[in-house]
């Protein structure tokens, strides 16, 4: 069963896109199974930069079939813009398909997301304002509009009208905003339906058959464990399950068909948006990481919050995901630091030392990181391709992470370009 799942283990932006791109060279299928265009996955191929939001990063290899499965929320406008951008960059997108079961982001979802954040003031989550949360809410409330509905004018009209009764009441009475008319939306979305009809297909049967036939099937996660709706820092999370478990419901693949579970973590940590983050740095070290690592969001352009690696949080992430293979990215960004800190435990608000993650977001905000300090290295490591050639202290840093987590690192990424990797072990 050659199945591979790539998930983020921190707060997103670990470099999942780059890792998916590498693995896609040998994959027959590349499947996105959760999230939407809140994601931003940047891949460098030579001098060319590609940013994927909704499409699987595997589209860049032009080999495997790319599927946006049922668990993803799809903004058709964003989808078509992304297709146009990629085609203008010379790529083919004929092999990209959307599940008929995938839920559709409507303009009123984006409005709701935006108004709610405004309304929440200081308590806002810091969402990407792409309508992700409101679309998943409608799905769970059983009033959502699915890709298949775009192909049926009568059903689409009825559903939009029903939804707008509630949404318009909220816009008018709670948010003091203008209401929206169903006709404009209907016309626009029927047009999307016509343009996308040839891409809207059933996907779960095909994916399962491909696995049964021994094809290489790769699942690309968006976001990450610390943004997971259940196991992240709730409510400062996204509205889906960016876990390996998320594949089962997000693509219709049973757990006993999932084999290689790859977790991606930066050699340090970052976060975009609000919420507790114990190892966040507010000093010049954090500033240096941001500058050297170019830590600015690919979707919203916001500067990312930066800090040291948090092994307590990482262990929690590896446990929930059952990670079998670890990837450490951006090790090159840590070159030149005299010492590198790693958080191995927390001191709680009442002085206790703990080495496990908490479900209390309010308490987590009060925890202080307890660090071990490891010696840094001075060398530029961006051209190194074998683990033995890394400076001794960089090797020791990787070994320290492996020992703490009890999981082997199979790949170390030392630069943004597709080929800047140290492969410790062949996967397939
Ligand atoms: P994703 O959302 O997990 O796919 O990650 P993003 O693409 O949002 O953010 C990762 C950023 O780091 C991108 O700009 C990548 O080009 C870049 N990147 C990935 N791996 C490395 C690496 O090993 N070193 C450096 N310097 N940059 C990297
Ligand atoms: P990738 O796939 C980093 C964050 C937002 C916000 C929270 C909720 O590139 O790793 P949402 O719009 O999802 O309701 O916002 O989640 N967030 C991300 N942060 N990388 C991402 O995706 C993210 N997707 C959502 O900043 O804090
Ligand atoms: Mg990203």
76-81 average pLDDT score: 98
Cβ contact 228:250 at 8 Å: no
* Catalytic status, residue 399: no
Q: Cα separation of 280 and 233, whole Å?
A: 15
Q: Over pLDDT 70: what percentage of the chain?
A: 100
Q: What is the pLDDT of residues 138-179, one digit of tens each?
A: 999 999 999 999 999 999 999 999 999 999 999 999 999 999
pTM value is: 0.97
- In this prediction, residue 210 has a pLDDT band, given cuts at 50, 70 and 90, of very high
pLDDT digits (tens, 9 = 90+) for 265-306: 999 999 999 999 999 999 999 999 999 999 998 888 889 999
- The pLDDT confidence band at residue 128, using thresholds 50, 70 and 90, is very high
- Dump the DSSP string for 209-277: HHHHTT--EEEE--S-GGG-TTTSSTTSS-SS--SSTHHHHHH---GGG--EEEEEEESSEEE-SSS--
Exposure string of 282-293, with b = 16+ CB inside 10 Å and e = fewer, is: eeebbeebbebb
At 370-391, the pLDDT tens digits run: 999 999 999 999 999 999 999 9
Q: Is 15 in the pocket of ligand 1 (CB under 6 A)?
A: yes
326-340 exposure pattern, b = at least 16 Cβ within 10 A, e = fewer: bbbbbbbbbbebeeb
Output the CA 422–ligand 3 centroid distance in Å. Answer: 21
Kindly report the average pLDDT of the chain as a whole number. Answer: 97
Does any ligand 1 atom lie closer than 6 A to the CB of residue 296?
A: no
109 is catalytic: no
Task: Give the ligand at the shortest distance from the Cα of 128.
Answer: 2
Give all domains of the chain, ordered by start, each with its CATH number: 3-98+200-260 (3.40.440.10), 103-196 (1.10.300.10), 265-423 (3.90.170.10)
pLDDT level of residue 94 (50, 70, 90 thresholds): very high
State in Å: Cα 127 to ligand 3 middle: 13
Q: How far is residue 64 from each of residues 186, 207, 244, 247, measured CA to CA in Å?
A: 34, 12, 20, 18
Q: With 70 as the cut, is the pLDDT of residue 1 above it?
A: no
What integer is the mean pLDDT of 322-338? 97
Query: What confidence score (pLDDT) does residue 14 get?
Result: 98
Task: Give the C-alpha separation, 203 to 32, whole Å.
Answer: 11
Question: pLDDT at position 267, please?
Answer: 98
What average pLDDT score do residues 52-57 get?
A: 97
CB atoms within 10 A of CB 399: 11
The DSSP bridge partners found for residue 329 are 266
What per-residue confidence (pLDDT) applies to 216?
97
pLDDT at 232: 97
């Amino acid at each position: 069963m050659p199945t591979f799942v790539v998930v983020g283990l921190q707060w997103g932006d670990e470099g999942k896109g780059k890792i998916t791109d590498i693995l896609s060279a040998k994959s027959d299928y590349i499947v996105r199974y959760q999230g939407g265009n809140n994601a931003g996955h940047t891949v460098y191929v030579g001098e060319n930069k590609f940013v994927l939001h909704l499409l699987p990063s595997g589209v860049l290899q032009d080999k495997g079939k790319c599927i946006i499965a049922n668990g993803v929320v799809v903004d058709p406008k964003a989808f078509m813009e992304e297709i146009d951008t990629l085609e203008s960059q010379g790529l083919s997108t004929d092999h990209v398909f959307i599940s008929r079961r995938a839920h559709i982001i409507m303009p009123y979802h984006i409005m709701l997301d935006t108004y709610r954040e405004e309304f929440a003031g200081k308590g806002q989550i810091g969402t990407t304002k792409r309508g992700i949360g409101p679309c998943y809410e409608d799905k769970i409330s059983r009033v959502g509009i699915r890709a298949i509905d775009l192909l049926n004018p009568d059903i689409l009209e009825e559903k939009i009208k029903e939804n707008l009764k509630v949404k318009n009441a909220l816009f008018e009475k709670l948010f003091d905003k203008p209401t929206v008319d169903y006709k404009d939306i209907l016309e626009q979305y029927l047009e999307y339906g016509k343009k996308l009809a040839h891409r809207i297909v059933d996907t779960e049967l095909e994916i399962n058959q491909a696995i049964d036939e021994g094809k290489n099937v790769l699942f690309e996660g968006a976001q990450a464990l610390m943004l997971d709706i259940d196991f992240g820092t709730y409510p400062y999370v996204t509205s889906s399950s960016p876990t390996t478990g998320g594949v089962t419901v997000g693509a219709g693949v049973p757990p006993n068909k999932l084999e290689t579970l790859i977790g991606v973590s930066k050699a340090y940590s970052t976060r975009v948006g609000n919420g507790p983050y114990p190892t966040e740095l507010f000093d010049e070290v954090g500033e240096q990481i941001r500058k050297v690592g170019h830590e600015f969001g690919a979707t919203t352009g916001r500067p990312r919050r930066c800090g040291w690696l948090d092994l307590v949080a990482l262990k929690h992430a590896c446990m929930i995901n059952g990670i079998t293979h670890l990837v450490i990215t951006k090790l090159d960004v840590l070159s030149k630091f005299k010492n590198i800190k790693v958080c191995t435990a927390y001191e709680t608000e009442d002085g206790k030392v703990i080495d496990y993650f908490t479900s209390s977001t309010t308490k987590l905000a009060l925890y202080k990181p307890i660090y071990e300090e490891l010696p840094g290295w001075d060398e530029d490591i961006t051209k190194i391709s074998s683990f033995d050639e890394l400076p001794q202290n960089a090797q020791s840093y990787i070994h320290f992470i492996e020992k703490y987590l009890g999981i082997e690192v199979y790949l170390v990424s030392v630069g943004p370009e597709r080929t800047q990797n140290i492969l410790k072990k062949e996967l397939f």
